[in-house]
Amino acid sequence: MNNQAIIEKQPLDYIKIFFRRKWLIVLPTVIGICLGVVAANVIPKRYEASTLILVEEGRIENPLIQGLASTTGISQRLGILREQMLGWDRLLQLIEKLDLAKNVKNQFEFEELVKFLRKNIRVTSLNKTENVIRISYEGKDPTQTKKIVQTITDIFIAENLRQQTQEADNAVAFINDQLILYQKKLKQSEVATMEEQLNKLLVDSTKKHPMVVELKSKIDAAKLEIAEGNYDIKDPDLAVSSKEMADLKEELKQMKEEIAGPAAAQDDGANRVRMATTSNDKLYKLLLLDKISTVEARDVTVTQKLYNTLLERLETAKITQRLESSKEGTKYTILDPPRQPLKPAKPNKVLVMLMGMFLGTCVGGGVIFAAELFDHSFISVEDVKAFFELPVLGAISKIVTSDDLKAQKLRNARITVASIVTGVVLVIVIIFNVIMGN
């Protein structure tokens, strides 16, 4: 028959062709199912382990903490961490922790291992709100697959927390450095103040004076503490003991009373004579007390300012440290921890067998179409009329003998038994693969 004859057939004619050539589609279908079963058991098994992490963005309500740190959106942080996690450094960290490169012989194989991990590690968002993150990995070894997902999860949480607290960590480190710096400066200021007092004392006294000796010993002790890294600050009254200062102040008071006494009514010349007859020791103490009091007042002011600055820095550091350990930050909750997979995720054996059956059926349909295309025999009276375009006067049916009937029955019985056995075997194989999985 020609192509036009095939095209002009009615749907019923195609059904008749299907049943007439049913074995041309049954056999390829059975073969396709068998090949699907073989393929389902030959294709390398791939195991998948995964974990779900709930990311809850914290709300910082403390106004002091709000001014010290800024948070990044979950979606932005997810995108950044996805790229970082699949980067060379993160995968190298993963390989070193699990010793995945123990069988790698050269640099090329190592790079192929990195590419393999990058291809099979997936970090995705589970929903539109992007607060549930799924980390998964596919591999050949179920135990190793679980370990890789567990390690990836640890890297993910550690990296996310590191980024979240990086600003606070930097602030704490900076303030700690400033704290040490200010302590050192304050200690150096203490030494400088004592040296200034010493210089003023040496103007009117010798190096063996008790106050000079005491001040020198304090200066030497303070310099030794600075060299040893001990920046503890002493009390503001640095140079002179409180008892000596009190005695000097009492003598100064008495001297002022003597000078301002009844002789104050005399003329200037008499006053100058009275001052000249005053004890040189008392005049020395008067001048010394005035100089020390001036230095001490200035030193207390400077020291107080430095202490205030230092305390402000220290309080800021404490606030920042509380921010780091605060529970008001982003929380990570593992909803579904990684478990060792018991069955392979790939291949899906049922799907592979169904694909084999579908391909076999398609091949059988193609074989039937080709057989009809190249079959030039006439099957019915309508085929003769369509081909010759002439009326057909009559048709002679095929004469079937008893031997033909017996042979046909025997052939049908064999085909039926073979079909039943094949079908039962296929059903058993399919059920076994579905139940056993792997």
| Banded pLDDT at 81 (limits 50, 70, 90) | low
- Does 264 or 315 have the greater pLDDT score? 315
Is the omega angle on the peptide bond into residue 347 within 30 degrees of 0, that is, cis? yes
Q: Mean of the pLDDT values across residues 89-102?
A: 85
List the chain domain ranges.
3-43+347-436, 175-324
Output the average pLDDT for the chain.
71
Angle between helices 23-42 and 349-374 (to 10 degrees): 150
Q: For residue 371, what pLDDT is reported?
A: 82
For residues 9 and 391, give the distance between their C-alpha atoms in angstroms, rounded to a whole number: 19
Which of these ranges, 173-182, 390-399, 401-410, has the smallest mean pLDDT? 173-182
Nearest to 39 by CA among 350, 397, 258: 350
pLDDT at 62 over 50: no
Q: Say if residue 149's pLDDT is above 80.
A: yes
- Mean pLDDT value of segment 224-243: 58
pLDDT at 66: 47
Instruction: Write out pLDDT tens, residues 167-220.
Output: 666 666 666 676 677 667 767 777 777 777 777 767 666 677 777 777 777 777
Distance of CA 178 to the CA centre of its chain: 31
Backbone angles phi, psi at 261, to 5 degrees: -75, -155
pLDDT band at residue 237 under the 50/70/90 scheme? very low
Per-residue pLDDT at 366 exceeds 80: yes
Name the least confident of 162-166, 210-214, 347-351.
162-166
Task: Classify burial at 117, counting beta carbons within 10 Å of its beta carbon; exposed 0-12, middle 13-18, buried 19 or more.
Answer: buried
- Checking if the pLDDT of 309 tops 70, the result is no
SS3 letters for the chain? CCHHHHHCCCHHHHHHHHHHCCHHHHHHHHHHHHHHHHHHHHCCCEEEEEEEEEEECCCCCCHHHHCCCCCCCHHHHHHHHHHHHCCHHHHHHHHHHHCCCCCCCCHHHHHHHHHHHHHHEEEEECCCCCCEEEEEEEECCHHHHHHHHHHHHHHHHHHHHHHHHHHHHHHHHHHHHHHHHHHHHHHHHHHHHHHHHHHHHHHHCCCCCHHHHHHHHHHHHHHHHHHCCCCCCCCCCCCCCHHHHHHHHHHHHHHHHHHCCHHHHCCHHHHHHHHHCCCHHHHHHHHHHHHHHHHHHHHHHHHHHHHHHHHHHHHHHHHHHHHHHCCCCCEEEEEECCCCCCCCCECCHHHHHHHHHHHHHHHHHHHHHHHHHHCCCCCCHHHHHHHHCCCCCCCCCCCCCHHHHHHHHHHHHHHHHHHHHHHHHHHHHHHHHHHHCC
Question: What pLDDT does 238 receive?
Answer: 42
Tens digits of residue pLDDT in 284-305: 555 555 555 554 444 445 555 6
Mean of the pLDDT values across residues 400-423? 80
Most confident of 40-44, 195-199, 433-437: 40-44
Most distant CA pair in the chain, distance: 175
User: Is pLDDT at 7 greater than 60 in this prediction?
Assistant: no
344, 46 contact by CB (below 8 A) = yes
Band of pLDDT at residue 394, cut at 50, 70 and 90: confident
Tell me what pLDDT residue 350 has. Answer: 80
Percent pLDDT > 70 in the chain is 58
C-alpha–C-alpha distance, residues 332 and 132, integer Å: 10
